[in-house]
A = this chain, B = another copy of it.
Amino acid sequence: MLLTCYSLSQIDHFGFLQDGTFKQRYLVADNHWQQPNGPILFYTGNEGDITWFCNNTGFMWEVAEQLGAMLVFAEHRYYGESLPFGQDSYSDVKHLNYLTSEQALADFAVLIQNIKTIVPGAQNSPVIAIGGSYGGMLSAWFRMKYPNIVGNGCEVALAASAPIWQFPDMVPCGDFYKIVTQDFAKSGKNCDANIRRSWKAINNVSSSGSGLQWLSEEFSLCTPLKNKNDAVSFKSWLQETWVNLAMVDYPYEANFLQPLPRWPIQVVCKYLGFDSTVSDEQLLHGVAQAAKVYYNYTGNAPCLNTSQTATSSLGALGWFFQACTEMVMPMCTDGVQDMFEPEEWSFQAFSDECNSFLGVRPRADWAGTVYGGKKIGSHSNIIFSNGGLDPWSAGGVTSNISQSLVSIMIPDGAHHLDLRYSNKLDPPSVRAARALELKYFQKWIRQAQKSTGTGFTMSKDRKNSIK
C-alpha cells in the first residue's frame, strides 16, 4: 500500500530570519520492508509532482522485495503539493528565494531524520538515494553532502541519467544536440538531414501570410501563426519536440512525457525519408506528420498546442527559475554536427533573459563550486547510469571514477530507462544494468552495516531464522 504523508521542514534551512516551516509531501510503501534495519529506498524527488515520478520509477518497486526495503518518494519543495508558501510560492522572487537544490537536499535529510524517529525499527536502516535526471543529480549530491554511515543522510546513491557535469566549462556545450541528432540519424534514412533542412523550409514558407496559414493548418496548431516571431517560437517548439523524443526513445509503448509508440523516433522517421529533391511544402508535410506522432499518438488531440511540449506533471516555471539561478546548463548548436539551426551559447544573453523574465541572474560557477565539478574523486558509493540514446548523457559521468564511483552505460537506453518497470521488450543492456545496480546496492549496504554492526542481513537464511 502506498501512503501519502507529510513532514514539516524549515522554509529556510540556511538562515534564521525566515523561521517558518512547510509541509513536504512524501509517499511511503512498506509492504516488503524487513523490520528492523531493512534498507530505505529513498527517491530524491525532482521538478514535478511526486506521484508522477513514483509511477514512473518501477525499478524501486521491483527491487523492494529483494532488498527487504521500505520505499519513500520525497517531493521536491516548490513542486506538486510541497509549496512553502502555498498559492503564493511562485508570486515573486522573494517567495521563490528558497527554491534551491541545497534547500531540497536539506529537506531530504530532515525527512529521513523524521522517518527514522517516528518509524519503529527504521533507526538503523541504511538509505539508498535514487533519482533520475535532476532527481539523479540530487541523489548523487545527497550522497556527496550527507554521506552518513546509517545516519540521516544516505549510504548509497543511484544517479540515473544525471547530467551533473552539464555546467559551464565542464563538457562541450554542443554534445547534447549531437546525441539528439545521432538518435534520428540511426532511426531512419535521411531523417536527420531532413530535419536539418526543415528550418530553412519553415523560414521560406513563413515569409508570407498565406505560408503561415498553411503551416498552421498543416500542423493543426491550436493557435495559428501570425507573424515572424510566431515562426521563431514555432521552430523552438519543434526543436524541443525532437529533444523530447530523444529522451523518451524507449523500446516499448510508453507514456512518460507523452503517450508514444515503441521506438518512437523510428516511427517519426518514417515520415522523414525524403531525398534532397523534395519541395519545402512536401518536407514540412512530413515534419507535421512526424510531430503528430509525438503530440497525437492517441489520435485524441483536437489540435497541437505549441506552448507545451511535455506532461503537465513537470513544473516548468519552477525549473526555469532553477535554471536561471543555480542550474546553468550551457547548450549550443552548429547545424553541422547536429541537425539544428546554429546557435552559440551566451551566458550573458541567458542571464539577461532570466533577469527580464524573473528578475534574477544566474551564477555561472556556483554549481561547480558547491558540488565539486569534475573533481569528485573523494566521494564514494555512487552509481551513475546513463543511456547511450539519452542526450543528457552528454553531461553525465560515463566512465568509472573509482571503485566506488561507478558508471553503468546502457547503449540502447534513453532517459533513465533503468528506473522504469522492466518490460519484455527491454534490451539486454538495461536488464544487465539493473542487475548490476542491485549488486552494488547489496555490496555497499553490507559494507555500511558491517561497519556499524547493525544486524539486518539480506540473505534468505537469516530471514527464515527470524521467524
Contacts and interface: CB of A to CB of B under 8 A. Distances in A.
Interface of A: 10, 12-17, 19, 93-94, 97-98, 100, 102-103, 106, 109-110, 113, 145-153, 155, 325, 360-361, 363, 365-366, 368-370, 372-381, 451-452
B325 A378 contact: no
A381 B14 CA distance: 26
A97 B366 contact: no
Contacts of A150: 375
A151 B372 contact: yes
A372 B153 contact: yes
A381 B378 CA distance: 10
A78 to B, nearest CB: 13
Given A106-B369, A369-B110, A372-B153, A379 B15 contact: no
Chain A contact surface mostly: loop
Contacts of A368: 152
Q: Which of A15, A109, A148, A374 has the most CB of B within 10 A?
A: A15
A160 to B, nearest CB: 21
Contacts of A379: 147
A408 B382 CA distance: 31
A151 B97 contact: no
B102 A14 contact: yes
Nearest to A354: B16
7 contacts: A16-B100, A109-B369, A113-B369, A145-B145, A146-B372, A148-B377, A151-B373
Given A145-B145, A369-B106, A16 B375 contact: no
Contacts of A363: 10, 16
B155 A360 contact: no
Nearest to A155: B378
A375 B448 CA distance: 11
Contact of A16 (B97, B113, B369, B372): B97
A264 B13 CA distance: 42
